[in-house]
Structure 1
Amino acid sequence: MDPVDLERLNTLLEHDVGVSEKIKEQVKEFDKKVRIIVGILGKIHSTPSNSMPELLDSVQPVLLSCQEITTNISNVIPPDQFWRWKDMWSNSMRTAVFAAALMEYLRNGSLLSLPRASEILGIQEGWKDRFSLPVEDYLHGLISMVNELSRYAVNAVTLGNFEEPMRISNFVKDIFSGFTMLNLKNDSLRRRFDSLKYDLKKIEEVVYDVSLRKLVLPTPPPQLG
């Protein structure tokens, strides 16, 4: 090979190694933060509903501090190379989306949208060719949230919150219905979607048990006229 070509190839390789090392450094910090977040959120299963806002408030600063990391990563990625490097932080990103989505449900009983998830994580529109939140990672985060809610439905009853499984059931059914209308070509995503059926079944069993024991008042029929 031509010495000039060899030198050029070596330069490119060294540049790639430099980019990779900088990303690894940021991903390491990202992993630390999401582990802290997941650790705190794990307490929802033993936290009474009246203490939930305080618990979520303790998570919020850590979640928002991830914005600094997404900014740092976006500054490292060369233009038009997002898809080349994204797998390095996908797991951390999915966990962060899971946390943000779970908090949105616990606070407001609503589904976190993709644009709102990007906003919470500080992802800017102008980074599109270097750093963004792919739909696949967003959906993986939602599935993880449903997995957690199926467990939370059981523990809410243990804590005496008998209405929560009803709310979770309606919420998860709506998400499941939405997933069935998506064209899921990603094998990993399709396999994880299949797990939602088991989560939904588990939640419905809790609802059935609560209803059978008459632990919640039946919903009154709508009044006509």
Structure 2
Amino acid sequence: MDLQNLEYINRLLDKDVDLREKIKDQVTELDKKTRTLSGMLNKIHSTPTGQLPSLIDSVTPYLESCRETTAALAELIPPNQFWRWKDMWSFSLRNAVFSATLVEFLRNGSLLSLSQASEVLGIKDEWQDRFALSAEDYLHALISLVNELSRLAVNSVTLGDFEQPIKISFFVKDLFAGFAMLNLKNDTLRRRYDSLKYDIKKIEEVVYDVSLRKLAPAKLNRE
């Protein structure tokens, strides 16, 4: 191998190392934001239902600040290199999407779609070849959402909110039915999906106890 060729290869390697470090810096920034979000959202387990709207309002600016980081990442990634670098931010992006879906459920009782989650995090369609929210990362975030809601179902009863577990049960069962219609070939995603049955069982036990004790309105139980 001649010297000129070696120098060219070295320049390519140095360029990759430099890009990797820049991506790593932005992913670290996204991690900081998602950790802050997780810490704030963890308060839902000790916050009375009536005070949840103000808590969600305080979380929203931090969620929206993730848009700055996603934009910075999209700016860094060369065209058509999404899949080359995706693994560097997947975990962090899943955490951000988890926070976004939890906020949506707490605020409106509804599911945030993949496109809506992308919009919340400022991920634009024209970035598809550089930075995007993959279906796999979105589904991982939804599984994390169910994990968190199963915990919330238990803690809501402790705080005297007997309707929340029933609402969570309807939501989670509908979500689980949607998962059942997907052809999941990713081993990690499949294993996590299979574990959802334990979360559903936990929620059902709470709902059964609440219903047996007639602590929630009968009309809500029938819906």
TM-score by length of 1: 0.96
Paired position in structure 2 for 1:194: 194
Distance verdict in 2 for CA 1:43–1:31, change over 3 Å? same
1:219 match: secondary structure: helix
Shift of 1:33: 0.4
1: CA distance, partners of 2:152 / 2:185: 30
Determine the structure 1 residue equivalent to 2:182.
Answer: 182
Q: Give the C-alpha shift of residue 219 in structure 1.
A: 2.1
Alignment of 1:150-169 (within 5 A): 150-169=150-169
- Residue type of the partner of 1:86? K
1:216 Cα deviation from its structure 2 partner: 1.5
* SS of alignment partner, residue 144 of structure 2: helix
In the aligned structure 1, how far is the partner of 2:8 from the partner of 2:183? 43
In the alignment, is residue 108 of structure 1 matched against residue 129 of structure 2? no
1:221 is displaced (CA, Å) by 11
Equivalents in 2 of 1:220, 1:60: separation in Å? Answer: 29
Q: Distance in 2 between matches of 1:216 and 1:136?
A: 36
Question: CA-to-partner distance for each residue in 1:172-219, whole Å, 9 max, x for gaps?
Answer: 000000000001011110011011100000000000000111112212
**Structure 1 unmatched runs, 5+:** none
CA–CA separation in structure 1 for the residues paired with 2:162 and 2:116: 30
CA RMSD of aligned residues (A): 1.3
| TM superposition shift of 1:220 | 8.3
Q: Which residue of 1 aligns with 2:68?
A: 68
SS in 1 for 2:80: coil
Distance 2:220 2:186 in 1: 43
> Could you tell me which residue of structure 2 aligns to residue 15 of structure 1?
15
Instruction: Report 1:6-45 matches (<5 A).
Output: 6-45=6-45
Counterpart for residue 203 of structure 2: 203
Q: Deviations over 1:2-24 (max 9, x none)?
A: 22221111111011001101001
Q: Which segments of structure 1 move beyond 4 Å, counting only runs of 4 or more? A: none
Q: Where do 5+ consecutive residues of structure 2 fail to align?
A: none
Structure 1 partner of 2:171:
171
Separation in 2, partners of 1:28, 1:221 = 44
* Aligned residue in 2 for 1:131: 131
Distance in structure 2 (CA, Å) of the matches to 1:19 and 1:47: 43
Alignment partners' CA distance in 1, 2:101 and 2:220 = 31
1:135-174, Cα deviation, whole Å (9 max, x unpaired): 0000000000000000000010111110111100000000
Classify the secondary structure of the residue corresponding to 1:70: helix
For 1:38 and 1:65, the matched residues in 2 are separated by: 14
Question: Normalized against structure 2, the TM-score is what?
Answer: 0.97
